Amino acid sequence: MSNVVIGWAKRTPIGKVGGTLKSYRPEKMAAALICHMQEETGITGEKIQEVILGNVVGPGGNIARLSALSAGLPYSVPGMTIDRQCGSGLAAIEMAFERAYVNKKALFLCGGTESVSQAPWKMEKPLRPTRETPVLFERARFSPDEIGDPEMGEAAENVARTYQVSREIQDEFAYKSQQKAVQAQKEGKFEEEIVPLGQINEDECPRENTSMRKLKRMPAVFQKNGTVTAGNACPINDGAALAVVTNQKQANYLGLDTRFSIVDSCTVGVDPNLLGIGPVPAVRALLERNNLHISDIEIMEFNEAFASQVVASIQEMGISWDRINLGGGAIALGHPYGASGAVLIVRLLKEMERANAKFGIATLGIGGGMGTAMLVEQQK
């Protein structure tokens, strides 16, 4: 068990793009979490070393610094914004972990925030601006053409084909994710981890009326005879999540929760055409260097960008479905890009608390061909 702990972690509700959170700018969502954290813990701005946030499709600038100022933190508190695509929120927590390990008195606010609803439109600059009409900038580049730079959905199809993940099993996984999320929402399990934004206090995406029959009727989206559909892939979302990371001694002094320590984290590269399989080598490396086996991991929070990727990865890892995403995953709850890694940590801590689990892992596949994972231990 390391001496760096997650002393507090919560998230906002997750909204559909253009949905309940469309009027909330990314820094306002993060600021709401910062303010709520201060109210709950009594931590003053002078105690905060830095705010580190992931953000992917925001307006640019430095969302972390903007969030800190929006929350009323002192001018002396700096901010750093990280873009590691879907892994940005987890990368922010990883950076805080590494720095808190060295600086024993430092306390970091870290996580991610994303408003896809308010993502700016971008135009490609023509080579001859006075003679050519600019066109919409379609998307960022993640890999050179000679290697392959597939759309995320095409990469999910590649994984399904390479690892022989059928349409039926993808739909089944998606259905179970919806069922688990709907049940958890009904039982009020998300209430402990959600900080309301105004009157909005629950996730918008879980669909109670989902059925296997409906999922089977959905057409493939990315390839003519493909298996990836809107039903077995995640929606596009808005949301934020925040964690307090500090040394255990400092956490004790400030009266924070000291049960959950960050043991280690790992990020690896894989073939960009099979980016969804990235969690497999990341988790394996994490386990190997900490002398653990997959059977030691009681709970895993796995980003459900696409069912094909999750199913392929957990098959390769040899972990059973009943230890994955106990309250549903991104297929049901949503995927607010830069915040998703931090959302996984919030969810992981709550599920570990309920199950009294010793070890848990949060993991994601990342655009450009990467996988990232973080190992958390609960002191019993």
The confidence score (pLDDT) of residue 135 equals: 87
Q: What is the mean pLDDT of the chain?
A: 96
The confidence score (pLDDT) of residue 128 equals: 85
> Considering the domain 4-119+235-254 in this protein, what is its CATH number?
3.40.47.10
Which residues, in sequence order, are CB contacts of 160 under 8 Å at separation 6+? 166, 170, 226, 227, 228, 308, 312
Does residue 80 register a pLDDT over 90? yes
Q: Please give the single-letter amino acid code of residue 178.
A: Q
Catalytic annotation, pick one of 110, 205, 266, 335: 335
Does residue 65 register a pLDDT over 90? yes
Whole-angstrom distance, CA of residue 117 vs CA of residue 126: 26
Could you give the C-alpha distances from 352 to 237, 251, 299, 300, 378, in angstroms and in order?
25, 20, 7, 9, 7
Whole-angstrom distance, CA of residue 155 vs CA of residue 149: 9
pLDDT > 70: percent of the chain: 100
Beta bridge partners of 262: 376
The confidence score (pLDDT) of residue 40 equals: 98
Whole-angstrom distance, CA of residue 158 vs CA of residue 272: 10
The tens digit of pLDDT for each residue in 236-254 reads 999 999 999 999 999 999 9
> Which has the closest alpha carbon to 47: 112, 103, 111?
103
Does residue 108 register a pLDDT over 90? yes
Range in 119-123, 177-181, 315-319 with the lowest mean pLDDT:
119-123
Beta bridge partners of 252: none
Contact between 227 and 240 under an 8 Å Cβ cutoff? The reply is: no
Does residue 105 register a pLDDT over 90? no
The confidence score (pLDDT) of residue 319 equals: 95
Contact between 178 and 211 under an 8 Å Cβ cutoff? The reply is: no
Could you give the C-alpha distances from 242 to 31, 39, 147, 342, in angstroms and in order?
10, 14, 36, 7
The confidence score (pLDDT) of residue 91 equals: 99
The tens digit of pLDDT for each residue in 109-146 reads 999 999 999 999 988 888 888 888 888 888 889 999 99
Of the pLDDT bands very low, low, confident and very high (cuts 50, 70, 90), residue 332 is very high
Whole-angstrom distance, CA of residue 99 vs CA of residue 102: 5
Return the DSSP state at 121.
Answer: P
The confidence score (pLDDT) of residue 124 equals: 86
- Structural domain boundaries in the chain: 4-119+235-254
Does residue 217 register a pLDDT over 80? yes
Range in 73-82, 122-131, 317-326 with the lowest mean pLDDT:
122-131
Whole-angstrom distance, CA of residue 122 vs CA of residue 119: 9
Q: Is 335 a catalytic residue?
A: yes
Catalytic annotation, pick one of 86, 110, 205, 234: 86
What integer is the mean pLDDT of 134-159? 93
What integer is the mean pLDDT of 285-311? 98
Q: Is beta strand 299-302 parallel, antiparallel or unpaired with respect to 260-269?
A: unpaired
Q: Is beta strand 370-378 parallel, antiparallel or unpaired with respect to 260-269?
A: antiparallel
φ/ψ (deg, to 5) at 326: -65, -25
Contact between 159 and 369 under an 8 Å Cβ cutoff? The reply is: no
Does residue 1 register a pLDDT over 70? no
> Widest CA span of the chain, in angstroms?
68
**How many helices, marked H, and strands, marked E, lie in the chain?**
11, 12
pTM: 0.97
> Which has the closest alpha carbon to 363: 294, 312, 302, 273?
302
Does residue 152 register a pLDDT over 90? yes
Q: How far apart are the first and last CA of the chain?
A: 11
Q: Is 293 a catalytic residue?
A: no
The confidence score (pLDDT) of residue 2 equals: 74
Q: Is beta strand 107-115 parallel, antiparallel or unpaired with respect to 237-247?
A: antiparallel
